[in-house]
Amino acid sequence: MNNTAALDKRSPMLRAAWGAARKLIDRKGTLSAETSSRKGAFLRRKCCRDLATEDCSNVFDTAVAIAQATIRFQRSHCGQLAPQTARRYELLSSLAHELEAGFPGCDDILIRSACAQLELEWDR
């Protein structure tokens, strides 16, 4: 299987893992008490059926850790107000570099999702 076909198969699972991870974490970065039951529910989703359970489990755990790191970054670097445009791009670049260093080898979709989530928070 070539890389494009593998990514096409994993892409829905990666997006679903990010969504599930975001639902588990509050605005302070604290995990919900239902982490294990939510992980089990995620592993039973259609997007994980044709993929290795271990791979899906690892992606879920990575997505949760990246979501927590994103919230910590936001709380320590961004403040309460949305930054001006130039500062936004500076912060997004810093977040991406920090996540790439902290999670080497993770799927790019998760890092892009973290950056997109930060932008959504600013636009609220």
For 42-106, give the DSSP string.
Answer: HHTSGGGTTS-HHHHHHHHHHHHHHHHHHHHHHHHHT-SSPPPHHHHHHHHHHHHHHHHHHSTT-
Backbone angles phi, psi at 106, to 5 degrees: -75, 160
- For residue 83, the model assigns a pLDDT of 87
- For residue 81, the model assigns a pLDDT of 80
| pTM flag (> 0.75) | yes
| Domain assignments of the chain as residue spans, ordered by start | 3-123
- For residue 9, the model assigns a pLDDT of 81
Contact 31, 64 (CB under 8 A): yes
- For residue 1, the model assigns a pLDDT of 46
- For residue 26, the model assigns a pLDDT of 76
Residue ranges, the chain, pLDDT below 70? 1-7, 27
